[in-house]
Structure 1
Amino acid sequence: MTLILKGTKYYRTAEVCEMAGISRTTLFRWLKSDLLGESVARDRRGWRLFTEQEVEQLKAEANRVDEPAD
């Protein structure tokens, strides 16, 4: 369920995983490796909330193609 707080749209973990086409395990591994920095918002229960910009970053990472080294 998408939340709108102070005019900003936030997505919960399950929504983000579905939108980016990644598993929760992958999302948490990327968060642990500081892919989005430490600015991930949390609700009053401590659950992570993601902005549209952060979702786009995750989608870009999920669709990134590394070129083989010559």
Structure 2
Amino acid sequence: MKARLTITEVAEQLGVSPKTVARWERVGKIRKPKRDWRGWRVYDETDLEQIKEFHEAVFEV
């Protein structure tokens, strides 16, 4: 079963705010996730991996 993460859970894993993740989505840096019946963003493992790759590319250490 694939993980179903909220925007807050994704943001916490990356060390950024949920608003940052939403902004990346809005400006097209990451693809839009599916939404649940309430309209809330729902991220799966594939979404999380893609976002992590983007985050690592932007915030290289």
- Shorter-chain TM-score tier: 0.7 to 0.9
Root-mean-square deviation (CA, aligned residues, Å) is 1.9
Unmatched 5+ stretches in structure 1? 1-6
TM-score by length of 1: 0.69
Unmatched 5+ stretches in structure 2? none
Q: Distance in 1 between matches of 2:50 and 2:2?
A: 17
Instruction: Tell me if structure 1 keeps the 8 A contact 2:30–2:54.
Output: no
Q: Distance in 2 between matches of 1:22 and 1:53?
A: 19
The structure that is helix-richer by fraction is 2
**Quick one: percent identity of the two aligned structures?**
32
Q: Distance in 1 between matches of 2:10 and 2:3?
A: 12
**Amino acid in structure 2 at the alignment position of 1:22:** V
Q: Which runs of 4+ in 1 moved over 3 A?
A: none
Structure having the higher Rg: 1
Cross-structure match for 1:63: 56
